[in-house]
Structures are given as structure tokens and as C-alpha cells.
Amino acid sequence: MTLSVILVLLLISIFAGAYGTIIGAGGGFIFVPFLLILFGLEPRIAAGSGLVIVMINAIIGAIGYTKQKKIAFNQGITIGVSAIPGTFIGSWLLQHYFSNAFYIIFAILLSVLGFFLLFKNLPIKFNKKKPAHTWH
């Protein structure tokens, strides 16, 4: 790896780690597209590499949020355990049935999430109802 490649990866990683930890996403949604587009990695290699950075960010972020007492452990554990089958299914699908659909699905997912975050944080509220569930 050249010095310029290392510097680009370092800058992307710092940004992805900081922003991903702030919003609670780990940064994989930033890091993986860079690996796919700039470095031409295969999707399964980019996804696996992205998971490593997300794991590191998640551990460090969880330590910080635990110190600030900003974690609902019961809900986090419930959601985390519930997501385990999906991780196995996703890994298997990517390994055995990869196609260009990966890029399309990934782009659509990021776009939908982006619009959700945009509209969720607009000063104009479209839905003034209180949420039905509150996590305690």
C-alpha cells in the first residue's frame, strides 16, 4: 500500500468512526462504499472489512455511552440477539448469491435511511402523535 492510500483510509476511518459512533451506526455505511468504489474490493471483502471497523467502533462507543449512562441494555440485548439469524443469512447470501443487486440494494437502503433521518429531524413535524411505545 502506498502512503497516499494509507492516508485516505486513515481519513475515511476517522470520519466513519466518529460520525458512525455519534449516530450509533458504527460507520460501516460510510466505510464500505469507499472500499467498494475507491479500492474496487469485492462486496464480501468490503462487508467483512467494514464489520471489523464497526466492531471496534461499537466497543469503544459502548464504553463511552456506558460511562454516560445512555444505554438501554435490555432493548439493546433483545434487538442484538434478534439480529443474529439475519447476520448468518446475510453472510451466506453474500457468499453464495452475490450479484450486482448488492450495489442496488445497498444504495436503496442508504437512500431510504438518509431520507428517514432527514425527515425525522425537520423542524416541521408531520406526525404530532406521541409514540405508542417508550423504552425503559
For 96, which DSSP code? H
Q: Position 45: which residue type?
A: I
Nearest alpha-carbon partner for 55 in 89, 80, 92, 72: 80
Please count the structural domains in the chain: 1
Q: Does 134 fall in a domain?
A: no
**pLDDT reading at 130 higher than 70:** no
Q: Percent of the chain having pLDDT more than 70?
A: 90
Residue 97 and residue 34 in contact, taking contact as beta carbons nearer than 8 Å: no
- Taking the C-alpha atoms of residue 79 and residue 86, their distance in angstroms, rounded to an integer, is 11
The H-or-E segment that residue 126 falls in is none
Q: Does 130 fall in a domain?
A: no
Q: Does 131 fall in a domain?
A: no
Residue 30: pLDDT band with limits 50, 70, 90: confident
Q: Does 93 fall in a domain?
A: yes
Q: Does 125 fall in a domain?
A: no
Q: Which letter, b or e, does each residue of 88-119 get, where b requires 16 or more Cβ atoms within 10 Å of its Cβ? A: eeeeeebeeeeeeebeeebeeeeeeeeeeeee
Q: Does 80 fall in a domain?
A: yes
Which own/partner contact pairs does 42-50 have at CB distance under 8 Å and 24+ positions apart?
42/98, 43/94, 43/98, 43/102, 43/103, 44/94, 44/95, 44/98, 47/94
Q: Does 7 fall in a domain?
A: yes
Residue with cell 438518509: 114
For 73, which DSSP code? H
Full domain range(s) for residue 34 = 3-120
Q: What is the pLDDT of residue 75?
A: 94
Q: What's this model's pTM, rounded to 2 decimal places?
A: 0.67
Q: Does 65 fall in a domain?
A: yes
What does the pLDDT look like over 51-102, one tens digit per residue?
Answer: 888 888 889 888 999 999 999 999 999 999 999 999 899 888 877 776 777 7
What does the pLDDT look like over 108-119, one tens digit per residue?
Answer: 988 998 888 788
